[in-house]
Amino acid sequence: MSHDTEPSPQPPEALTGIEVGQPAGHAAGVAAVASSFRHILMRSGVVRGVEGMLAMNQKDGFDCPSCAWPDPDGHRAAFEFCENGAKALASETTLARVTPEFMAEWSVTALAEQSDLWLDKAGRLCEPMVLRPGSAHYEAISWEEAFGLVAEELRLLATPDEALFYTSGRASNEAAFLYQLFARVFGTNNLPDCSNMCHESSGAALNASIGVGKGTVTLEDLHGAETILIFGQNPGTNHPRMLSALQTAVRQGAEIIAVNTLREAGLSGFAHPQELGGMLGVSTPLATQFLQVKPNGDMALVRGMAKVLLEDGVSDEDFIWRHTEGFAAWEAEVKATAWEEITELSGIAVEAIRLAARTAARGARKVISCWAMGLTQHRNAVATIQEVVNFHLLLGAVGRTAAGLCPVRGHSNVQGDRTMGIFEQMPESFHDALDAEFGFKSPRHHGLDTVAGILAMHAGKIGVFCALGGNFLQASPDTEFTAAALRRTRLTVHIATKLNRSHLVTGKTGLILPCLGRSEEDLRNGVPQFVTVENSMSVVHSSQGRLRPASPLLRSETAIVAGLAAAVLGERSGVRWEELAGEYDRIREHIERVVPGFTNFNERVRQPGGFYLPNEARRRVWRTTNGRAQFVANPLSAFRPAAGQLVLQTFRSHDQFNTTVYGLNDRYRGIGNERRIVFMNPDDMKERGIGKLQPVDLTSHWHDGERVLRRFLAVPYEVPSGHCAAYYPEANALVPVTSVAEISNTPTSKGVAVTIVPSVG
């Protein structure tokens, strides 16, 4: 490494002055409205901010760059967004700029000493910039020279598999489709993505169980459900618009059962910020049953619920007979599981498990299960999700109106990117269609996912790392290890809107290629283009930015990918890259012929609101190996660390979008002005001689050694004894890179064994 001092991969350790109050009893209300406007007005200015807010999530506007929750099919409010969507928009439409002059002033080492919040506030990236070998500063570079540099480095590789092409889930369908095509024509399936760290476990579980890796319900289904189970999810913060859907369901008689290790505000109640009562703080109670599970106790809980129904003799025999396989083996497994084991692992009493199971089995058994990272980021995540599916199959609650499975996605287009082929192991049928369309032979051997990619970089096997969005360093586990891995490459390339820590920990050479954001107008040859995205419920719709770009030198993601591909592949491919990037309809014509479900794509996506992709499991057609939905009999498990250790989960505050930190508050949990904290059970604190707000050191334990984070503040909180929680990305350094979920290879960000002791000095 040629820089004088290596920039630190960690944010600085300074504490900022914590304020601790009471956790909130419900989400949203007028505080959410006030917070939305504060963020927008402070960062984007009045005109740009309000213009942006009026176009967001409208049928002719752009898709909110925050989460993947769907928009209503019918009527939409004038402001169809939430507090955190407003923060995402404010961050994108900020008036601050990161220019070459800014970079001349700030060395990479000096930038690395700033916090993630500071880096985001530095503003929008304005023109391509390069960090040359041995240089301490980024400097301007022309687009053509930048593309040439990437081409040169890629040509130097011994094999195409020495390149890694990462994608974050905000990329549009069009950009993602071109990007995977570029990687595959180049000759590799090394297409890791953020999904590898997110809902990969859901995809793996659902594919094996019901033959499709996506959810099976629509917003209408949710409105009509009788029972909604919400596992391991904090919708008040991460999917605020889900709360309006839950409110509608509750008003129509649904009962909500929340399963979480913490009593999150958004699960308890919701004051709709766009209703008068809500503004005044009148909240609709949401969950009527709150099951505070032990960390990773969900599989035991769901098994218990199934055991209750089997003991009650409740099942949908006809459905099981016609549609499923494996029932007998699973039934035997459930019956053989002792109640003591179930209550011990779940931490929930038999009576509460009975009530939950019988609630789900009442009425017409219109049951929907929603889940997010509290299930997917554990060692046995795939088995846990399959137990949820088993429970639904028992009740015949899949592929029926108002019943089904609902993995709630994170990034606004993470599901679409996968549909477009961003995956290191796409099925044979996709490759065949791609090859036929473009007249080449795509590589068939599987590529590297995120964790495998980090290990390969660390072993010196990767020369070029390229990222379409995201913040790979801060999103990945094991921050120090991942930093060392990135530094072993020759070139790191980031197509990005905002400066982040991944841009400061580079290969020998580092490149930043700045792109347009969702909210901005994308003119190609003078004609405004739109892109498309797919939400969490498989609706594909258009997204068209309206605002003036942050800088005239920005290019769209699609144009940048095409530019890279043209420079790298030139005559080698028959693909007319520049022509495709000149008119996105042409890209969509290719998508239509390669990806199932996109017939008449250009026409249908121009219909207001877009269209639903076909989902065969919804129609009870099962694309599994034997054409039936599978009961999968996994042995019961739960992650239990050694004596004296606690299970740490790393989660989001209310003031962040993944690695982008908008502020230092976590309003619903009563935290002000600090992120370096660990939420602990008061008894666990007492046992360790730790007082309120005392600085503590956290050590994670793994077979390859220990990882330590110093000087976090201990906050007493209502977490089950044996559990604790700290914020992502600050705590990522504790997550061992090889601690992953079985099958899905997802880092176990919600299940890390730690010890906590008072800091000395």
Ligand X SMILES: Nc1nc2c(c(=O)[nH]1)N[C@H]1C(S)=C(S)[C@@H](COP(=O)(O)OP(=O)(O)OC[C@H]3O[C@@H](n4cnc5c(=O)[nH]c(N)nc54)[C@H](O)[C@@H]3O)O[C@H]1N2
**198 touches Mo ion (CB under 5 A):** yes
Furthest C-alpha separation in the chain: 72
* 149 contact choice in ligand X, Mo ion, none (CB below 5 to 8 Å, kind-dependent): none
Closer to ligand X at the Cβ: 187 or 304?
A: 304
Q: How many residues does the chain have?
A: 761
Does the N-terminal peptide bond of residue 7 adopt cis geometry, omega within 30 degrees of 0? no
* 716 contact choice in Mo ion, ligand X, none (CB below 5 to 8 Å, kind-dependent): none
Positions in 123-182 near ligand X (CB under 6 A): 168-170
- Spell out the SS3 assignment of 202-253: HHHHHHHHHCCCCCCCCHHHHHHCCEEEEECCCHHHHCHHHHHHHHHHHHCC
Burial (CB < 10 A; 0-12, 13-18, 19+), residue 604, is middle
Interface with ligand X: number of residues (CB under 6 A): 60
Closer to ligand X at the Cβ: 106 or 327?
A: 106
Among 89, 126, 222, 259, binds ligand X (CB under 6 A): 259
Smallest gap from residue 200 Cβ to ligand X (A): 10
Closer to Mo ion at the Cβ: 410 or 641?
A: 410
Q: What is the contact mask toward ligand X in residues 65 to 104, using x (rule: CB under 6 A)? A: xxx----------------x--------------------
Burial (CB < 10 A; 0-12, 13-18, 19+), residue 226, is buried
Positions in 581-640 near ligand X (CB under 6 A): none
How, if at all, do strands 527-528 and 523-524 pair? antiparallel
Got the DSSP string for 3-55?
SSSPPPSS--------EE-PPPSSEESHHHHHHHHHHHHHHH-HHHHHHHHHH
Got the DSSP string for 671-706?
EES--SEEEE-HHHHHHTT--TT-EEEEEEEETTEE
Interface with Mo ion: number of residues (CB under 5 A): 2
**368 touches Mo ion (CB under 5 A):** no
Going by C-beta distance under 8 Å and a sequence separation of 6 or more, which residues neighbour residue 313?
none
Q: What is the contact mask toward ligand X in residues 711 to 730, using x (rule: CB under 6 A)? A: -----------------x--
**500 touches ligand X (CB under 6 A):** yes
What is the spatial distance between Cα 664 and Cα 676, in angstroms, rounded to a whole number?
10
Closest CA to 219 of 198, 191, 251, 241: 241
Give me 699's structure tokens: 């050590």
Smallest gap from residue 415 Cβ to Mo ion (A): 11
How, if at all, do strands 629-630 and 324-325 pair? parallel
What is the spatial distance between Cα 487 and Cα 473, in angstroms, rounded to a whole number?
11
Positions in 643-672 near Mo ion (CB under 5 A): none
How, if at all, do strands 539-543 and 531-534 pair? antiparallel
**327 touches ligand X (CB under 6 A):** no
Give strand pairing partners of 677.
Answer: 713
The interface region with Mo ion, picked from 198-206, 233-241, 344-352, 525-533 by CB under 5 A, is 198-206
The answer to whether residues 523 and 165 touch, using CB atoms and an 8 Å cutoff, is no
The interface region with ligand X, picked from 155-163, 235-243, 330-338, 387-395 by CB under 6 A, is 235-243
Closer to ligand X at the Cβ: 405 or 475?
A: 475
**463 touches ligand X (CB under 6 A):** no
Give me 206's structure tokens: 């659902």
Smallest gap from residue 252 Cβ to ligand X (A): 24
**515 touches ligand X (CB under 6 A):** yes
**278 touches Mo ion (CB under 5 A):** no
Positions in 407-446 near Mo ion (CB under 5 A): 410
The interface region with Mo ion, picked from 82-90, 196-204, 331-339, 478-486 by CB under 5 A, is 196-204
Burial (CB < 10 A; 0-12, 13-18, 19+), residue 455, is middle
**238 touches ligand X (CB under 6 A):** yes
Closer to ligand X at the Cβ: 212 or 262?
A: 262
**237 touches ligand X (CB under 6 A):** yes
Q: Which residue has the tokens 């940048």?
A: 560
Q: What is the contact mask toward Mo ion in residues 318 to 347, using x (rule: CB under 5 A)? A: ------------------------------
* 296 contact choice in ligand X, Mo ion, none (CB below 5 to 8 Å, kind-dependent): ligand X
* 168 contact choice in Mo ion, ligand X, none (CB below 5 to 8 Å, kind-dependent): ligand X
Closer to ligand X at the Cβ: 433 or 499?
A: 499
Among 433, 495, 646, 715, binds ligand X (CB under 6 A): 495
The interface region with ligand X, picked from 136-144, 205-213, 272-280, 650-658 by CB under 6 A, is 650-658
The 10 Å Cβ neighbour count of residue 388 is 27
Positions in 381-410 near Mo ion (CB under 5 A): 410
**735 touches ligand X (CB under 6 A):** yes
Angle, nearest 10°, between helix axes 173-186 and 428-438?
A: 80
* 541 contact choice in Mo ion, ligand X, none (CB below 5 to 8 Å, kind-dependent): none
Give me 592's structure tokens: 């239509």
What is the spatial distance between Cα 173 and Cα 415, in angstroms, rounded to a whole number?
10
Residue closest to Mo ion when measured from CB atoms: 410
What is the spatial distance between Cα 690 and Cα 678, in angstroms, rounded to a whole number?
12
Torsion angle (degrees, nearest 10) of CA 619, 625, 629, 631 = -170
Q: Is 288 helix (H, G, I), strand (E, B) or coil?
A: strand
**261 touches ligand X (CB under 6 A):** yes
* 23 contact choice in Mo ion, ligand X, none (CB below 5 to 8 Å, kind-dependent): none
Among 164, 183, 185, 194, binds ligand X (CB under 6 A): 194
Q: What is the contact mask toward ligand X in residues 517 to 556, using x (rule: CB under 6 A)? A: xx--------------------------------------
**483 touches ligand X (CB under 6 A):** no
Closer to ligand X at the Cβ: 544 or 658?
A: 658
* 423 contact choice in ligand X, Mo ion, none (CB below 5 to 8 Å, kind-dependent): none
Closer to Mo ion at the Cβ: 198 or 533?
A: 198
Give me 464's structure tokens: 């070029």
Burial (CB < 10 A; 0-12, 13-18, 19+), residue 220, is middle
Closer to ligand X at the Cβ: 236 or 326?
A: 236
- Residues engaged in binding ligand X (CB under 6 A): 65-67, 84, 168-170, 194, 197-198, 231-234, 237-239, 259-262, 264, 293, 295-296, 298, 372-374, 410-411, 468-472, 475, 495-498, 500, 515, 517-518, 557, 649-652, 656-660, 728, 732, 735, 749-750
Which residues are at the interface with Mo ion (CB under 5 A)? Answer: 198, 410
